[in-house]
Amino acid sequence: MSLATAIRLAGALSAALAVAACSGTAPSQPDPPSSSTPAPPVTGTVTADGAGDPYYPTDGNGGYDVTDYHVSISYDPPARKLDGDTVITAKAGTDIARFNLDLHGLEVSAIEVNDKPATFERQGEHELVITPAEPVANGSTFRTRVRYGGVPKTMEESNLGTNGWQIARSGGAFAAGEPHSATSWYPANDTPRDKATFKLTARVPTGWSVISNGREEPSTSDGGWTTYTWVEPTRIATYLTTVGIDKWTFDRSTLPDGLPVVSAYAPGAEEKKSVERRLPEVLAFLSEKFGPYPQSAAGGIYLNENIGFSLETQGRPIYAKWADLPVLVHENAHQWFGDSVSVQNWADICLNECFASYAQWLWEEAKDDKDLDAEYRREVARASDRFWNRKLYDMGPGNEFTAVYDKGTLALHALRRQIGDEAFNRVLREWPAKHRDGNASWPEFEEFTQQVAGQDLREFFAAWFRNEGKPADQYLYPGNLRR
């Protein structure tokens, strides 16, 4: 993700659901109960209501691993009403008598687990507590179907701005946010630790259109409604999924290797085509630095909105109205650092943002012949105590999206000079290859970099990443950064 202030510097569905998706009809909705059904007492394992991230302890859930989401929605922009029918395929990590999903705001009408009605209740802001008719056996694959609806709402404000479902000035809608977004429009195990494949079937009134992640399948029309289908076969973290409903202008092409490129422009954002035309050049450059492009598709979603961030939604970033070429570089660098290799905990966010921010420097070095050592010295010379007194690793909840955009860039340039270009370039390529389509932590990165460089870097990493304060001169001016 790039800040305006910092960067301008499921398995198969049931036959009935499949027919609905193909015919363009809305998913069938049972009569909603007057309230959720309280879960009865259970014997056996009641899974955790959080995935274990200390910053957001109730995000995600324990006891199972999601392998696939099939989200089916019907959305009427004038009414702002969404009807949803989501099937979640998962593998049980224990014998499950009761488990949780995350969902904000929307009203749940029915839940089935393995095609049998389940009881459920809502707890807190986002916990959907589900009791299957029969316990789920450890190691088994199970399917949870959730039918729900209502008017989606935005979620909490972070220091990046509003998260979740948002209304566009055209009357359309889009979903974007970090660390939260997905559960404003579908139920999920909302943690980056649990990545899964993703399919969206979205039905909208004819004249509106839908953009999402992955590869586009043919649309169908029936009775004044059009159904769009997008399939992401590469595992994705929930906050990196998106949907955009608008009167989009689409550009479709392919990269030289045949990879599909789909870009969409909201009404009033068509002038951003001149920025997006640089995408093949940007991806070619980043592939030289980081290795083969790791996603199933490419493109961009250009909003006519002055939201506070652009976001690296997987394979198809979302761009605010102010986004420019450096932001294009930043968000596509995330396709390696953050999307393909996702954080284990939010404390590890430098693995995403420090590298995407430094990619902008690498681009300027290569394309504009910029002297990065001189730029580094200028930035160090004007940095205040407040600039230095921010941690890059384990910075605390609410502080994730701060120092990683500016201090993080300097830290990686200092690391480059500390270990030399040969080792640094190896790290840029071998780290995303080692953890492709998975998760990793900052301590793992430190260990990996020391092995590649053949150096003990513990004091360097402590000075730059783990501690507050200005690094001592030996770490501030390593290698040829010394005057």
* CA-wise closest residue to 353 among 408, 292, 309, 428: 408
How far CA 218 is from CA of 44, 205, 221, 376, in Å, comes to 45, 16, 10, 49
- DSSP 8-state class, residue 118: -
pLDDT of residue 20: 36
Q: Whole-structure pTM over 0.85, yes or no?
A: yes
Residue type, 356: A
pLDDT of residue 161: 77
pLDDT of residue 378: 97
- Distance between CA atoms of 423 and 411, rounded to whole angstroms? 16
- Burial class of residue 47, CB neighbours in 10 A (0-12, 13-18, 19+): buried
The token pair that represents 104 in the structure block: 């904000």
pLDDT of residue 15: 34
Domains contained in the chain, CATH given: 2-35+44-335 (2.60.40.1730), 344-481 (1.10.390.10)
Q: How far apart are the first and last CA of the chain?
A: 34
pLDDT of residue 19: 32
- Distance between CA atoms of 15 and 20, rounded to whole angstroms? 9
The token pair that represents 302 in the structure block: 């250009």
CB crowding 186-195: b at 16 or more within 10 Å, else e: bbbbbbbbbb
- Distance between CA atoms of 141 and 11, rounded to whole angstroms? 10
- DSSP 8-state class, residue 356: H
The angle at the Cα of 54, spanning 141 to 86, to the nearest 5 degrees, equals 35
pLDDT of residue 35: 42
* CA-wise closest residue to 463 among 407, 422, 423, 421: 407
Contact status, residue 13 vs residue 89, Cβ threshold 8 Å: no
How far CA 388 is from CA of 168, 353, 383, 410, 472, in Å, comes to 38, 17, 7, 11, 12
Per residue of the chain (483 residues), give pLDDT as tens.
Answer: 765 434 443 333 333 333 333 333 344 444 433 345 555 555 568 898 899 999 999 999 999 999 999 999 999 999 999 999 999 999 999 999 999 999 999 999 999 999 999 999 999 989 999 999 999 999 999 999 999 999 999 987 666 778 999 999 999 999 999 999 999 999 999 999 999 999 999 999 999 999 999 999 999 999 999 999 999 999 999 999 999 999 999 999 999 999 999 999 999 999 999 999 999 999 999 999 999 999 999 999 999 999 999 999 999 999 999 999 999 999 999 999 999 999 999 999 999 999 999 999 999 999 999 999 999 999 999 999 999 999 999 999 999 999 999 999 999 999 999 999 999 999 999 999 999 999 999 999 999 999 999 999 999 999 999 999 999 999 999 998 986
pLDDT of residue 39: 52
String of DSSP letters for 370-408: --HHHHHHHHHHH--HHHHSS-SSS--TT-TTSGGGTHH
Residue with tokens 């198809």: 316
Residue with tokens 């789909």: 262
- Answer positive or negative: Cα dihedral of 437, 440, 444, 450: positive
pLDDT of residue 29: 40
Contact status, residue 357 vs residue 5, Cβ threshold 8 Å: no
**Peptide bond just before 27 cis, omega within 30 deg:** no
3 state SS for 253-315: EECCCCCEEEEEECCCCHHHHHHHCCHHHHHHHHHHHHCCCCCCCEEEEECCCCCCEEECCCC
Is residue 458 helix, strand or coil? helix
Percentage helix, strand, coil, to 5, in the chain?
A: 30, 30, 40
